[in-house]
Amino acid sequence: MQRWYRELNLLLLLTLPALVLGMFTGYIALCLLVVVTLLLIRQTIYIDHLEKWLSRGAFGDKHPQHGIWRDIYYHIWKIRKIDKKRKKKLTRMIDRFRTSTDALPDAAVVLGSYGEIDWTNKSARDILGLKKSDKGQRIANLVRNPLFIQYLKSNDYQQKISIPSPVNENIILQISIVPYGTGLRLLLAQDITQLKNIERMRTDFVANVSHELRTPLTVLKGYLETLLELENVPSVYLRSFQNMSTQTERMQLLIDDLLLLARLETKSKKSECINISELLKQLCKESDLLEKDECRVNLKLDSPTNLLGDPEELRSAFSNLLANALKYSPADKPVYVKWFKNSENGVCLEIEDFGEGISSNDIPRITERFYRVEVKRNRKINGTGLGLAIVKHVLVRHDARLEIDSQLGKGSRFRCQFPQKRIC
Ligand code: ADP
């Protein structure tokens, strides 16, 4: 039988005799009132027991073992038991998570909305020098690298940054931040010292080899020039000398580009206010002179804006783009060079040609070193495959990005988008 039926039965059991007694004595209301009051007192006592039991944390079993109250106590006890099980499971999960994150070689730090430390793993304590007791402290007060503080404040975490470890200057850390939840951030720091060393070794090797090749190449070029100037050279030899001269010329270009790339990777950034209009006018004039066609390059200066940057690097990037536009389009087609303010309050250089274009498969790869698109052309176009790699490097060093739009057989449009902070 349902327990609340029993409660009802008890009520009827007490009410009926009270009713009978009331009818005999003529005090029906009084008898019923006495019964109801007794029942009310009983329930109040049970409620008091329940309150005391709950205030003790629902421990112990000193509670009524009959009626509806037995069920109430049983259900509370059951809920508590399930809750306890769930808590145990959660604690085990947290422990497992802690052990695995502590085993991670990368540092992980959970930051609150004000940059205060909420949680750290073991690596964070090892390579970032944080302590368990630093919980609640702002990380910017503990990792005092200016680049890191600027990155933390920027709220733009698309890029990663590299900084020396606060514990050991020789350790290079790559820092990235992932925002999640409401205002929370996960900071990850990876030790990339070895990667940086290998990268430096590669750059040094390429730079040294290129540098060492320069002198023998200059000697070779000198001898070839002398041989080409000789009179009465048999035509068979003359053709060979001309071929050798073209190839040494190519090699020279390759070495120059490799050295420039190595410089871009190692040189510290230079920043001065550059008159871009003047620079572009000069570049277009030089190109027209080389092309022996004064109308091929059309320059449109829609903005007088100047840029903060390295003049040599920008000159080399812009001239590479212009040279490509001229190289990869027919001699009778114009090339448009435009300098204008873009929609992001920054400034943009656009170089457009109506040449062979680039397929959508090749576009993502053309900025890779030595990548040249295989196209069957009726004339051979010389190149090193390093021009756009140089352009990309220079733009990254100027906080700019390269956008490429192209259609095979129709032409290409290269855009260098500079941010507002580069305007001077
Ligand atoms: P390269 O010395 O070969 O010109 P780049 O790095 O400058 O090297 O260019 C890489 C490749 O991208 C080129 O080989 C060419 O196929 C393609 N490319 C670059 N610019 C253009 C352009 N304006 N039109 C068509 N193809 C281009």
DSSP string, 15-76: HHHHHHHHHHHT-HHHHHHHHHHHHHHHHHHHHHHHHHHHHTTS-S--S--SHHHHHHHHHH
Q: What is the pTM of this model?
A: 0.68
Give 260-277 pLDDT, tens digit per residue. 999 898 888 888 999 999
Range with the poorest average pLDDT among 58-62, 97-101, 313-317? 58-62
* Distance from Cα 159 to the centre of ligand 1, integer Å: 27
Q: What is the pLDDT of residue 60?
A: 66
Give 200-243 pLDDT, tens digit per residue. 899 899 999 999 999 999 999 999 999 999 888 888 889 999 99
Decide: 163 and 173 in contact? Cβ < 8 Å: yes
The residue nearest atom 20 of ligand 1, judged by CA position, is: 324
Q: What is the pLDDT of residue 289?
A: 76
Query: Which 3 state secondary structure label does DSSP give 309?
Result: strand
The residue nearest atom 16 of ligand 1, judged by CA position, is: 373
> Which residues approach ligand 1 with their CB closer than 6 A?
320, 324-325, 328, 353, 355-358, 366, 371-373, 383-389, 412
Which tokens sit at 254?
């390759």
From 373, 386, 390, give the residue whose CB has the most ligand 1 atoms within 8 Å, as the site to mutate.
373
Q: Which residues contact 131 (CB under 8 A, 6 or more apart)?
A: 125
* Greatest alpha-carbon span in the chain: 154
From 250, 335, 350, 366, give the residue whose CB has the most ligand 1 atoms within 8 Å, as the site to mutate.
366
* Distance from Cα 304 to the centre of ligand 1, integer Å: 29
Q: What percent of the chain has pLDDT over 70?
A: 96
Which tokens sit at 400?
């700019």
d(CA 112, CA 174): 21
Give the Å distances, CA to CA, from 38 to 14, 42, 164, 263.
Answer: 10, 6, 79, 97
* Distance from Cα 207 to the centre of ligand 1, integer Å: 23
Give 300-342 pLDDT, tens digit per residue. 999 999 999 999 999 999 999 999 999 999 989 999 999 999 9
* Distance from Cα 366 to the centre of ligand 1, integer Å: 7
Instruction: Place 344 in a pLDDT band, splitting at 50, 70 and 90.
Output: confident
* Distance from Cα 204 to the centre of ligand 1, integer Å: 26
The residue nearest atom 21 of ligand 1, judged by CA position, is: 324
Mean pLDDT, to the nearest integer, of 287-310? 86
* Distance from Cα 372 to the centre of ligand 1, integer Å: 6
130 dihedral zone (left: phi>0; alpha: psi -120 to 50; beta): beta
Range with the poorest average pLDDT among 230-239, 245-254, 278-287, 341-350? 230-239
Give the DSSP H or E segment for 349: strand 347-353
d(CA 113, CA 139): 12
How far, in whole angstroms, is CA 16 from its chain's centroid? 80
Q: Which atom of ligand 1 is nearest to the CA of 389?
A: 6
Range with the poorest average pLDDT among 55-69, 91-105, 117-131? 55-69
d(CA 70, CA 137): 50
* Distance from Cα 205 to the centre of ligand 1, integer Å: 26
Q: What is the pLDDT of residue 61?
A: 61
Which tokens sit at 217?
């190449």
First to last CA, the chain: 88
Query: Which 3 state secondary structure label does DSSP give 153?
Result: helix
Query: Which 3 state secondary structure label does DSSP give 217?
Result: helix
**Average per-residue pLDDT for the chain:** 90
* Distance from Cα 383 to the centre of ligand 1, integer Å: 8
d(CA 177, CA 161): 10
Q: Which atom of ligand 1 is nearest to the CA of 357?
A: 25
Decide: 361 and 371 in contact? Cβ < 8 Å: no
The residue nearest atom 25 of ligand 1, judged by CA position, is: 357
Q: Which residues contact 164 (CB under 8 A, 6 or more apart)?
A: 145, 170, 171, 172, 173
d(CA 330, CA 377): 11
* Distance from Cα 216 to the centre of ligand 1, integer Å: 29
From 328, 371, 405, give the residue whose CB has the most ligand 1 atoms within 8 Å, as the site to mutate.
328
* Distance from Cα 411 to the centre of ligand 1, integer Å: 12
d(CA 342, CA 418): 9
* Distance from Cα 324 to the centre of ligand 1, integer Å: 6
Q: Which atom of ligand 1 is nearest to the CA of 320?
A: 7
Instruction: Place 64 in a pLDDT band, splitting at 50, 70 and 90.
Output: low
102 dihedral zone (left: phi>0; alpha: psi -120 to 50; beta): alpha
Q: Which atom of ligand 1 is nearest to the CA of 356?
A: 25
Give the Cβ contact number of residue 216 at 10 Å: 9
Q: What percent of the chain has pLDDT over 90?
A: 67
Mean pLDDT, to the nearest integer, of 61-88? 82
The answer to whether the Cα torsion of 261, 267, 269, 273 is positive or negative is: negative
